[in-house]
Amino acid sequence: MLKAVIMDFDGVIIDTEVVWYDIYKGWFKEHYGYDLSVTEFLICVGSSAKDFFLQMKEQNNIVVDEELFAKNTMSRFIAESDALPIKSGVRSFITEVKSRGLKLALATSSAGKKPIKHLKRLGLLDYFDEIITAEDVERIKPFPDLFLKAVERLNIEPSEAIIVEDSANGLKAGLKADINVIVVPNEVTKHSAFDDCYRIAERLDEVNVGQLIDYYQEEECC
């Protein structure tokens, strides 16, 4: 039986990842004359930038001062993301989840301040029963800790939840947690492979919550 939906934040609720890719791409072009591809950037989408910087060092001999990078880019990210609109279908999906009596959690690799700020701005914060961020676990995606913490706090089993993600790292984390994952890619993550996901949808308004509930009941019966 489906009892809860667990949603990612970046790239699912607002398109912060598209903003970040433009910033990364411009920064590497300005500082190193390097044309950063989407596929190179994808390693840090939904996860930490540390693996990305390590990859740049090992594969391209580009050693980045991470503190300088953050200093150069964070204010621009804040300015460009502060008024980002909610993604298509998100509000109607969230309201249907709650109207069907399901629990709703957020599980994000970001620290707590940013997603809570945007959820308040968009009038969505009160819909969420639990919010789990990087500050609540030892390891972020692609490790399963965020999702395992979510089902623990919701007091349900992994088989009673479904995840909404946009990234390959999020999908990997969900699969490791033994939870079904719906993937809704954005303009950056659409270049990823999403093997073994429960479903792929272009927008969240394509996902019918009532049908999801029925599917889970049918699978339980079989």
Predicted local distance difference test score (pLDDT) of residue 111: 85
Decide which of 29, 64, 81 is a domain's last residue: 81
Is pLDDT at 126 greater than 90 in this prediction? yes
181 and 191 in a common domain: yes
Q: What is the pLDDT of residue 222?
A: 58
184 with 217, same domain?
A: yes
Among residues 47, 64, 81, the one where a domain terminates is 81
Residue at which a domain ends, from 63, 81, 99: 81
Residue 44's pLDDT band (cuts 50, 70, 90): confident
The verdict on 136 and 182 lying in the same domain is: yes
User: Does residue 50 have a pLDDT over 90?
Assistant: no
- pLDDT surpasses 70 at 221: no
The answer, yes or no, to whether residue 113 has pLDDT greater than 90, is no
Residues 59 and 44 in one domain: yes
User: Do residue 105 and residue 205 come from a single domain?
Assistant: yes
Residue that wins the pLDDT comparison between 70 and 4: 4
CATH number at residue 138: 3.40.50.1000
Unique residue bearing structure tokens 């999908």: 171
pLDDT digits (tens, 9 = 90+) for 54-108: 999 999 999 999 899 999 998 998 899 898 999 999 999 999 999 999 999 999 9
> Both 24 and 90 in a single domain?
no
One domain for residues 47 and 123: no
**Region 112-136 average pLDDT:** 94
CA pair distance 150, 134, nearest whole angstrom = 12
Residues 32 and 9 in one domain: no
Q: What is the pTM of this model?
A: 0.92
The amino acid sitting at 42 is L
Q: Which of 8, 15, 145, 166 is catalytic?
A: 8
The one catalytic residue among 10, 15, 145, 166? 10
Mean pLDDT over residues 187-211, rounded? 93
Residues 73 and 11 occupy one common structural domain: no
CA distance 199 to 215: 12
Same domain flag for 161 and 171? yes
Are 119 and 74 within one domain? Answer: no
CA distance 56 to 36: 10
With b for 16 or more beta-carbon neighbours within 10 A and e for fewer, the 53-90 pattern comes to beebeeeeeeebeeeebeeeeeeebeeebeebebbebb
Whether 31 and 62 share a structural domain: yes
Structural domain range at position 196: 4-15+85-221
Count of domains for the chain: 2
Tell me the C-alpha to C-alpha distance, in Å, between residue 86 and each of 9, 127, 199. Answer: 11, 15, 21
The chain-wide mean pLDDT, for the chain, equals 93
Q: What DSSP designation does 203 have? A: S
User: What number is the average pLDDT over the span 130-150?
Assistant: 96
Residue 8 annotated to the active site: yes
